[in-house]
Amino acid sequence: MKKNYFFALFASLMLFMAMPANAQVESMADLYGTYRFTATITPTEAGAAYADFWSEECEVVITEESSGWYLASINNFLGADYSPSVSGFDATNHTFTVNNPNGNYKYWNDMSGYNGVTDTEGTGIGIADAYAMQFSFDPETKEITIPDFTIAGFAWPAGECVTTIYANVTNVKMTLIQAEKVEIPDITGQWTFAGSLRYPDKSPKSFTVDLAPSDATMKNWDATITFEGFESAAVTLPATFDGSLLEIPYDNLVLSEKDSIRLGTRTSATEKKGSLEFKYTSSTAMMLWNYIYVRKDTVKANADGEMVEGGVTYQVFEGDAYITREDPNAYDWSGTYNVTVPVEGCDVFDESEMFPTEFNMVISKTAAGFSITEFLGFNDYYVNYPLTVSADGKSAEVALTSYYGPAMLKYVGEVDGDYLYYVLSDGNGEATSLKLTLQDDGSIVLGDFCVQSWAWMANAYNPYVLMSSAKAKKEVFDWAGTYVATSNVVEEGGSNNFSSEFEIVVEQATDGSYLVKNVMGYDVYTLNQGFFALNVAEDGNSATIDLGAYYGCLFLTGKYPDYYTLNDINGGVSLLNLVLNADKTVSVDDFTVYYLNYSTYASTKCATYSNVTLTKKAVDTAIENVVVENKAVEGIFDMQGRKIDAIAAPGLYIVNGVKVLVK
C-alpha cells in the first residue's frame, strides 16, 4: 500500500514576464499533459532526513481536477505524492493560480507540525495566506515557470507558530513532453437552471441557455440566454468551451430597461461586465461555477448630498446550482446494483474490521447528474460521490477526494483522542478516482478499491481490505406479485363497499408480459374480458394500464348489464400510470370507480382513490424466472408479450423466458 505523508502549501509570489503577443493557450485545458519537472533543491540541515520526498527531475501531469472543485490538479509535483490544485487561469497575462491541495490535509509521519511552502525568505504564513502562487506559461511552447520557494514546516507549541525551513527550491520549470488530448463533448441544446435562489419570491426564478456551435472545433459557441419574466426575452452571446468550463462573457446585459435590472458581479455593485461560467459534469448537467448576480441600478445621495450611481442586489442564483438538459440518448446510470467481489479479488489487510463482498450500490439521479449514495452498506451523509460520465456514456469516474479530504464512508467516532473515519480509496490506497465501466450486458465493472481507516488529526491510514474484479448488476424490478394497496378513499353515491386498503395481484405470463389478475378481491378473468395488461416501460421503472383496453373500459366486477369499472381521476379511460419508488413501493395515479349500466350507458361515481401506494408482500407469488421446458417459451419477447425477431433497441426483454436488460 503506497503511503506518502507529504503536504505542501504555496505562498503568494507574483511574476512579471514578457510574453508573446499571440497566445495559443486559451484555457487551462490547453495545458493538460505530461511535463518534465526540473529544479534545484537545496535541503537544509533540518530537511536532510526528508530529501527523498523531493526530486530535482521527475514527470508531472497536469489534468482535470477529479473532485470537480478546481480547474486542474498537478500530479506528482516535486516527485512527491502531492497534487496541488489550480483555481484560476488568466489567458491575457499567461498565468494560473495554484492552491493548497483540496484541503487534503497530510502530515509527515514523525512531525507534529503543519507542512507548507513559503517564499525564499522563509517567512511564516498561515493557511489562509497560501492561496496566491502564480505559475506563468509560454503560450507558444507551453513551458511553465514557477517562482522560487521554500519547503517549510509549521508547528504550534503552546499556541505559538514556529517555522522550520527544510529546503530551498529554485530554477523551477516544467517542460511539455506529451500534450493530453481533451475530448470536447457536444453541449448543443437547451439547458435550464436548477438550483437555489437567494430570494425565492422574486423574479427571475429561472433562466435557459440555448447552445449551438459556431465553428467545427466545438470550442466556440453561440449562447442564447433567456431570463424568466423580463421583456429582454433573449440575448445571444459568444461563448467558449474547453471541454470542462463553459464561459459566456457579458457587458451591460440588461434584463429590464424599465426597472433598471441587469446582470452584475459578485464583488461590485456598479460593475456591468462579467462572465457566466459553468463546469461540465455530465452530458445532462453543468455546475454553476460562480454565482450569478442580478442587480437593480439606483441613484441616491451620499453623505455629502451628491447624487451617485449604485446598485442593489435583486436576485442571486447560488448554492448547489446547475443548468441541466434532457438527453434521450444518455444511459440512465441510476438504480440499485448488486455488487459482487470474487473471493480471489478480496485481499484482507486487517481482520479487525470485515466488509461484505456482496453488497448494494445505489446510484441516484440528481440535478447534477448521477451520484453514488450507498456503497458497501454505508449510506451516511458522507456517501454522496458524483459520477463524471464519459462523452460516449460507456464509463464514469468517481472522485475519491472531496473539498474536505478523502472520500468518507462513515464517521466511526473519537478513538485514542483522534477522529476516525472509514474512507474509500483506489487500489493503491490513494485518493484518486474509481472507474465504472459499462458492459454490453448492462452490468458494470468497478476498478480496484480499498477501504481504510483515517485518523483525521494524525492523518494516519490503516488499510482494511482491497477489493478487485468487482462487478455490479442493476436490479430489475419484478412487477409480478401480490401487492397491498393503501390509499385515501372518498365514497360517493351511497356506496360502502370500497376500502382504503385492498390487494392487487400481478402475474407474469410465459411470454414475459405482465397481467393484472385480481383487483380488490375481484378475479378479472371471470368476466371473460381478458386480463388487464400491465405494460412495463423499457427501463423497468414504470408501467401503465390502458383503462380503455377492453370494450372501451376496464371492468372490475359485475354481470350484464350491471358492472363496476375502473376509470381515471376524471372518470375517463386514459392510461393509469404506476411508478416504482426508491424503496420498491409503487405509486399509482389517482383513479375512480364507477357503477355502469352497460345497457343504458348510465354511470354513477362510487369512489375516488388518491395517494395510492402499492407494497409488495414479502411472500411473493410471482414467477421469478421462467424455466424453459416448453418450446413455446423460447424466443425474444418485448415487455408487452409480443414476440420479435431480434433486439433492435435498449430496454427490458424476455429471452427464452428470462428477463434481460439490454443497453
In a shared domain, residues 314 and 214: yes
**Cα-based distances in Å from 453 to 135, 352, 450, 616:** 35, 11, 10, 39
In a shared domain, residues 265 and 303: yes
In a shared domain, residues 343 and 299: no
Separation CA 227–CA 250 (nearest Å): 14
Q: Is 28 helix (H, G, I), strand (E, B) or coil?
A: helix
Cis peptide before 561 (omega within 30 of 0): yes
> Residue 153: what pLDDT?
66
Separation CA 318–CA 323 (nearest Å): 12
In a shared domain, residues 525 and 645: no
Across the chain, which has 663 residues, the per-10-residue mean pLDDT values are 29 29 74 95 85 88 82 85 82 84 29 37 32 81 87 62 76 94 89 90 90 91 90 82 92 88 87 90 86 88 73 85 82 88 91 89 83 91 88 88 82 90 92 91 92 88 94 86 92 79 88 84 60 79 82 75 86 89 88 86 88 82 39 57 63 62 57
**Cα-based distances in Å from 318 to 194, 260, 282, 292, 474:** 10, 22, 20, 7, 35
Of 70, 133, 123, the closest CA to residue 96 belongs to 133
SS3 content of the chain, % helix, strand, coil (to 5): 5, 50, 45
Residue 427 within any structural domain of the chain: yes
What would the grid cell of residue 523 be? 378475479
Residue type, 465: V
Separation CA 49–CA 371 (nearest Å): 43
> Residue 659: what pLDDT?
58
Residue 503 within any structural domain of the chain: yes
Residue 497 within any structural domain of the chain: yes
In a shared domain, residues 457 and 360: yes
Of 189, 253, 202, the closest CA to residue 228 belongs to 202
> Residue 62: what pLDDT?
95
Separation CA 331–CA 520 (nearest Å): 38
> Residue 151: what pLDDT?
74
Residue 7 within any structural domain of the chain: no
Mention every residue, 6+ apart, whose C-beta is less than 8 A from residue 613: 485, 486, 487, 585, 586, 587, 588
Please write down the HEC assignment for all residues of 308-334.
EEEEEEEEEEEEEEEEECCCCCCCCCC
In a shared domain, residues 595 and 508: yes
In a shared domain, residues 539 and 433: no
Domains: count for the chain: 5
In a shared domain, residues 469 and 486: no
Residue type, 367: A
Residue 87 β-bridge partners: none
Domain range spanning residue 601?
481-616
What would the grid cell of residue 326 be? 434532457
Answer with the one of 278, 298, 324 that is the final residue of a domain: 324
> Residue 239: what pLDDT?
96
Residue 622 within any structural domain of the chain: no
Of 362, 454, 333, the closest CA to residue 402 belongs to 454
Pairing of strands 261-263, 254-256: antiparallel
Answer with the one of 445, 474, 503 that is the final residue of a domain: 474
In a shared domain, residues 170 and 196: no
What would the grid cell of residue 227 be? 431570463
In a shared domain, residues 272 and 312: yes
pTM confidence score: 0.55
Residues in the chain: 663
> Residue 145: what pLDDT?
93
Of 375, 395, 407, the closest CA to residue 333 belongs to 395
Separation CA 486–CA 501 (nearest Å): 5
In a shared domain, residues 201 and 316: yes
Residue 21 within any structural domain of the chain: no
Answer with the one of 158, 179, 200 that is the final residue of a domain: 179
In a shared domain, residues 463 and 380: yes
> Residue 158: what pLDDT?
56
